[in-house]
Structure formats: structure tokens, C-alpha cells
Amino acid sequence: MKQSSYSGFFKLSPEERLREVTEFCNLTSEEQEILKDPNCLDMDKADHMIENVIGRFALPLGVGLNFKINGKDYLIPMVSEEPSVVAAASNAAKIIRESGGFTTSNTGSVMIAQIQITDVADPHFAKIVIEENKEKIKTLCNEKDPILVKFGGGMEELEVRIIESIIGKMVIVHLKVNTLDAMGANAVNTMAEAVSPLLEELTGGKAFLRILSNLAIHRLARSRVKIKKETIGEDIVDKIITAYAFAEADPFRAVTHNKGIMNGIIPVVLATGNDTRAIESGAHAYASITGRYTSLTTWEKDKNGDLVGTIELPMAVGLVGGATKIHPTARVAVKMLGVKSAAELGEIIASVGLANNFAAIKALATEGIQRGHMSLHARNLATVAGAKGEVLELIVAQMIKEKNVRLEYAQELLKKFNSK
């Protein structure tokens, strides 16, 4: 049975790491070349992805190790420019693995399309009329995407809200659409456009904005862990809960706490070609859904004194359409995960977010966040200064020892070592 648990993976060369990943994920020689080639996205594909293309921009692709989710081992593709993120995820997953790993669930794959109806003389009456025509609206919507309906998706429910605004009352119609393994923006937007004339006819109002909502409250991903007190120590359990209590109570702390969660989430979303802005905005909106911005995770102590943690957030990711299918590296990243559904992908991403959150608050509650950050920062500065190989390691060690992590000092040390 393949295991994602490795010892000394960071000591391997990039080529050796790729060989390990190739064996675990059954990558072909062509897929290996895609991962190694910064130009795998050719200019023609790039030119069709966005407008005004003049080039391509490469970022490091690493792998999160040690993840056991619902009893299955995963190597997690992560694209990030920030040092310590991948290492933090891997270290946290190793600790969590000792207590059984991550357990996940989801609430389905329903997205919301919103239609804003203005200039309605009798909004409460109009609300009832719209609800009475639910089946007619549903039929009209589903005619726009017969393939989605064929595979079990399509519009399922209708919700009508009346909201107050600075220009008066508005009638807001929510189409709840099961988008299956697609993120679903195109599908729900098309349905919203199609049904708008009928809604105008029913209400006597004007259908204005017709667009999906990224606050995907019907598409939540959940992950939970239990970390035995013997694994990390009872005092650290208490310290982590104290750190979490700060984030739960104070939005100034919560936003940085949640940024640490997104440190894990966004790299996987990006690696798989999904929409990072949709996930980011949905997550922060969900953190505020009660009217007060707070933590996306919870940390508690159970009756045995073990640490238990949970995460729940909107996870509108897809496996079909968009960059997930166009970008060669995104296709390889999806294969590396071996996921069978968008829901499974969302659960994995949520688990990585929970791992990075645990790593961050554990570091904050013990040695402080700077210790790991400065070590990696020193390595970056030594690289920028031009150091390589053994000399690079010597410079990093010297800067850390003297707590003098600056580019100028790295350059000074490089001259010193080169002169020897």
C-alpha cells in the first residue's frame, strides 16, 4: 500500500523528489516533463486563457507530504511563492497522521445564482407569485443545460428574498443549482439570464444583475482531526486553545489566523487550476456570516484532554472546464491527487487548510512564528546573493546563529567564504 509519509524528503534533490512522486502517483514520462518544464504552458494556450498575453509566469510547485484523509494517503500539489507553507502543511499532517489523520465530509455541490429585481410595486405579493411558478422556472433553467441535467445536476430549488437597500426594496431570486463536478459559474449565470424575462413578467419589475454568488453556503467542505495529548503534550493543547480563543473573539487576530488557513488552501486551488479569488472571497464572507468576522476553524479539548479541530468553509472547486482542463500542469496536479469528484477535491483542500492552521497556531503558541520563517528567509537571501551548495548552507547557518538575516550580510558572508 502506497504511503504519503516520507522521512528526509526535503534532503532529496528536485529530480529525486520527482521520482518519488512519479512512483506514488503513476506519472507518465510526458507528465514528468510537464512538471519540470516552466514553459509547458505554450503561448498559444496562454493566449486563449486570458487577454493581452505577452508571456507566462512560473511559480514553485511543491508537494505536501504525510496526508492521510479518510484512511487514504495523498501527496498534495501546492503552488506558492511563500516559504514555510509546504513544510508547515507536511509537518502538521505528520503529527495528525499519528492520531488517525483527517476525516472529511461535504454538503453537496449546489451553487446559487442571484437575480436582482428592482422597481417592484408589491414585493411581498411578487415573492408569492414567483414561488408559485417554481416548476416553470425550474424547467426553463434546466432546458439551458441538458447535459448537466442528464448527469443528475441542474436547478433543484428556488428561494426568494426581499431586502432593503438605499434605493428601496428589492426582490432577490436565488436559483439553487447542482453543478456536480463543475465549479458552475457559466451554468448558473446562463440559467439566471434565461429566466430573467419570465421573472420580469411575473413581478412587473426589472431584472437587473444576474450573477452567481461566491458565498456558496450549500457547497461546504468539512474536515476534522483529533490529536492525542500524548503526541504534542497537554500544555501545548492548552496553549493552542488559548491562541484559538483570541482568533475566535477578535477580528484583528482572526484575519491573520484565517490567512494562515488560506496559506494551505490557495496553493492547492491554484495547482489544480481553480479560481483562487472565488475561494478566498467565499471563505472570508463565510467567516463573517454571523455578522462578526471570526475564525474558520475551531479548536477544543475533548473529555480525554485530546485536541480536536474542525474546519468548514465554502469550496466551489471543479474538475471540468476552465484552466483545470486547459493548463497542462493543472491536469497533472489533479492526477497526482487521484480525486474522483469535485467534492473529494474540496475536502482535501479543506484538510490542507486545517493542517496549516494547526501548524501556525502551534508555532505561535510555542517557539513563535519567526523561527521557521527566518530560516527559510535566510535561505532565500543567500540564494539571491548568489550562494550555492555547501557555501549556501554555511551562510544560512551563520545568519541564523547571529540573528542577522539581511541581504547585505549574506553578500558579505559570500565574499568571505569565496575568498577562502
| Residues designated catalytic | 82, 259, 275, 373
Q: Read off the C-alpha cell for 14.
A: 528536485
Backbone angles phi, psi at 350, to 5 degrees: -60, -40
Q: What sign for the dihedral angle of Cα 43, 47, 51, 52? A: positive
> Going by C-beta distance under 8 Å and a sequence separation of 6 or more, which residues neighbour residue 367?
none
Backbone angles phi, psi at 418, to 5 degrees: -65, -35
> Going by C-beta distance under 8 Å and a sequence separation of 6 or more, which residues neighbour residue 164?
none
User: For 330, which DSSP code?
Assistant: H
Find out whether 58 and 38 touch, Cβ atoms under 8 Å. Answer: yes
| Helix, strand, coil percentages, rounded to 5, for the chain | 50, 20, 30
Backbone angles phi, psi at 307, to 5 degrees: -85, 130
Bridge-partner residues for 225, per DSSP? 309
Find out whether 325 and 45 touch, Cβ atoms under 8 Å. Answer: no
> Is 173 in a helix, a strand, or coil?
strand
Helix ranges (DSSP H) in 222-369: 229-232, 234-249, 251-271, 276-287, 323-326, 328-337, 342-365
CA distances from 230 to 98, 226, 288, 347 (A): 10, 12, 35, 27
